[in-house]
């Protein structure tokens, strides 16, 4: 068992070195802007912004992508798999945390060939497909999770895909389902809050973002979404103070201000839509303020 694990770790490190070389010599364009879900090999700004804007955009199509997948498959076939399914899944998860999504797809194929398809392997596949720009296949995998114990992750992933496609209303619906199933998951709440901001529902974004901030106060992406909320509320001084406290880089600050402009436009459209009741859209604390019962 230790020998196979060490060999797989060595292959992972070699793949990482190759990936870094590719990034140095042919760096893809990345659109700044959750994340969720798992950590991504993106720019620092991309790590802290949004559910939609955290989606990785592939840098190429056709033979190049196929060649990269084939190379990853070759590594998977040459290296012996870990001796237990749990250890193998942990190593695949580690690959994804390092940004090796193509290699992880090859190892997921190998895992499922040996152990069969499981909800955990399906989730890893859905995430890898999303991160490699294969949105339709990723959506199919996320939907396959809905009747399983990982339904919350399935809805979360579908919300991320909708947000990445610019469908923030659909993202809100899916992420609301995810939050109902996993009410203490800070990443889900943060992504729901961001989606509501981008939909223009600034009041509706407040509660999930505050919940996420208190559940995971050290999460930079959550804090960035709180900054975005403050900017959307016109509380510029508080937003600046939080960015200073978190030592956000100029690139992150610029990305947040760009997102704030998008939120402002969406908020104007949201308010002008008669289907959006301004009272119903508020959270309970804001309703108390209107009725004169606030203790603020």
Q: What pLDDT score does 276 carry? A: 79
Residue 159: is its pLDDT beyond 70? yes
Check: CB of residue 178 under 8 Å from CB of residue 155. Answer: yes
Residue 79: is its pLDDT beyond 70? no
Per-residue pLDDT band at 200 (split at 50, 70, 90): very high
Distance separating alpha carbons of residues 73 and 95, to the nearest angstrom: 14
Cα dihedral across residues 105, 107, 113, 117: positive or negative: negative
Tell me the percentage of the chain whose pLDDT exceeds 90. 63
Residue 253: is its pLDDT beyond 80? yes
Taking the model in full, what pTM does it have? 0.69
- Hey, what's the torsion of the CAs at 44, 48, 51, 55, to 10 degrees? 0
In a domain, 63, yes or no: no
In a domain, 148, yes or no: no
Question: How many separate domains does the chain show?
Answer: 1
Over residues 239-264, the mean pLDDT reads 95
In a domain, 52, yes or no: no
In a domain, 97, yes or no: no
In a domain, 94, yes or no: no
In a domain, 126, yes or no: no
Q: What is the pLDDT of residues 109-144, one digit of tens each?
A: 999 999 999 999 999 999 999 999 999 999 999 999
Mean confidence (pLDDT) of the chain: 78
Residue 22: is its pLDDT beyond 80? no
Per-residue pLDDT band at 273 (split at 50, 70, 90): confident
167 versus 25: which is more confidently predicted?
A: 167
Q: What is the pLDDT of residues 208-242, one digit of tens each?
A: 999 999 999 999 999 999 999 999 999 999 999 99
Tell me the percentage of the chain whose pLDDT exceeds 70. 65
Over residues 73-82, the mean pLDDT reads 56
Q: What is the pLDDT of residues 34-72, one digit of tens each?
A: 334 443 332 333 334 444 343 333 333 344 444 555 555
In a domain, 232, yes or no: yes
Over residues 266-282, the mean pLDDT reads 74
Q: What pLDDT score does 234 carry? A: 96
In a domain, 83, yes or no: no
Q: What pLDDT score does 275 carry? A: 79
Per-residue pLDDT band at 197 (split at 50, 70, 90): very high
Q: What pLDDT score does 81 carry? A: 59
Distance separating alpha carbons of residues 118 and 86, to the nearest angstrom: 11
* DSSP-assigned states of every residue in 194-213: HHHHHHT-HHHHHHHHHHHH
Q: What CATH number corresponds to the domain at position 159?
A: 1.25.40.10
- Residue-level length of the chain: 296
Distance separating alpha carbons of residues 179 and 159, to the nearest angstrom: 11
Per the structure, the complete domain to which residue 161 belongs is given by 154-296
């Amino acid at each position: 068992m230790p020998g196979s694990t060490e060999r797989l770790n060595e292959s992972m490190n070699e793949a990482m070195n190759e990936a870094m070389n590719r990034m140095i010599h042919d760096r893809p364009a990345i659109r700044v802007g959750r994340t969720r879900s798992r950590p991504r090999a993106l720019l620092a700004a991309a790590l802290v912004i949004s559910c939609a804007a955290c989606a990785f955009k592939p840098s190429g199509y056709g033979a190049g992508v196929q060649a990269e997948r084939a190379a990853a498959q070759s590594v998977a076939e040459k290296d012996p798999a870990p001796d237990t399914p749990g250890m193998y899944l942990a190593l695949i998860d580690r690959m994804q945390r390092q940004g090796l999504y193509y290699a992880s797809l090859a190892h997921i194929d190998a895992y499922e060939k040996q152990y069969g398809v499981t909800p955990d392997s399906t989730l890893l596949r859905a995430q890898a497909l999303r991160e490699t720009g294969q949105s339709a296949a990723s959506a199919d995998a996320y939907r396959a999770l809905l009747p399983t114990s990982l339904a919350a992750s399935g809805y979360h992933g579908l919300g991320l895909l909708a947000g990445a496609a610019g469908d923030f209303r659909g993202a809100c619906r899916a992420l609301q389902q995810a939050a109902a199933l996993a009410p203490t998951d800070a990443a889900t709440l943060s992504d729901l809050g961001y989606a509501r901001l981008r939909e223009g529902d600034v009041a509706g974004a407040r509660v999930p973002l505050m919940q996420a901030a208190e559940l995971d106060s050290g999460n930079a992406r959550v804090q960035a979404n709180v900054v975005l909320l403050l900017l959307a509320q016109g509380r510029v001084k508080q937003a600046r103070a939080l960015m200073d406290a978190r030592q956000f880089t100029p690139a992150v600050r610029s990305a947040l201000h760009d997102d704030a402009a998008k939120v402002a436009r969406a908020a104007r459209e949201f308010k002008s839509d008669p289907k959006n009741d301004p009272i119903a859209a508020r959270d309970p604390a804001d309703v108390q303020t209107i009725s004169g019962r606030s203790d603020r």
